[in-house]
Amino acid sequence: MGAGKGMAVESQVTVEVAQAEGEPVRLEGVLAMPRGTQAVVIFAHGSGSSRHSPRNKYVARVIRKAAIGTLLFDLLTEAEEQRDMWSGHLRFDIDLLAERLSGAADWLRGREEARGLRVGYFGASTGGGAALVAAARHPEGVGAIVSRGGRPDLAGEALPLVQAPTLLLVGGNDHVVLGLNQQALEALPEGMAKRLQVVPGATHLFEEPGALEEVARHARNWFEAHLTEPR
- Give a yes or no: residue 93 inside a domain: yes
Q: 169: which strand partners?
A: 148, 197
pLDDT of residue 3: 43
Q: Compute the 3-state secondary structure of the chain and give helix, strand, coil in percent, each to the nearest 5.
A: 45, 25, 35
- Give a yes or no: residue 137 inside a domain: yes
- Give a yes or no: residue 4 inside a domain: no
Q: What is the CA radius of gyration of the chain?
A: 16
Quote the DSSP letter at residue 125.
Answer: T
The single-letter code of the amino acid at 112 is E
pLDDT of residue 87: 54
CA distances from 64 to 37, 195, 213 (A): 8, 22, 14
CA 23/CA 152 separation, integer angstroms? 30
pLDDT per residue of the chain (231 residues) written in tens, 0 to 9: 344 445 788 999 999 998 777 788 999 999 999 998 989 999 997 655 556 678 889 999 999 999 999 999 988 887 777 665 655 555 668 888 999 999 999 999 999 989 889 999 999 988 999 999 999 999 988 999 999 999 999 999 999 999 999 999 999 999 999 999 999 999 999 999 999 999 999 999 899 999 999 999 999 999 999 998 654
Helix crossing, 126-137 with 94-109: angle to 10°?
A: 60
- For 14, the domain range is 10-228
Work out how many domains the chain is built from and give that number: 1
Return the CATH number at 71. Answer: 3.40.50.1820
- Give a yes or no: residue 108 inside a domain: yes
pLDDT of residue 165: 98
Q: What is the pTM of this model?
A: 0.90
Contact 215, 207 (CB under 8 A): no
Q: Residue 99 burial by CB count (10 A; 0-12/13-18/19+): exposed, middle or buried?
A: buried
- Give a yes or no: residue 216 inside a domain: yes
Our CA dihedral for 36, 42, 48, 54, rounded to 10 degrees, sits at -20
- Give a yes or no: residue 210 inside a domain: yes
- Give a yes or no: residue 121 inside a domain: yes
pLDDT of residue 2: 40
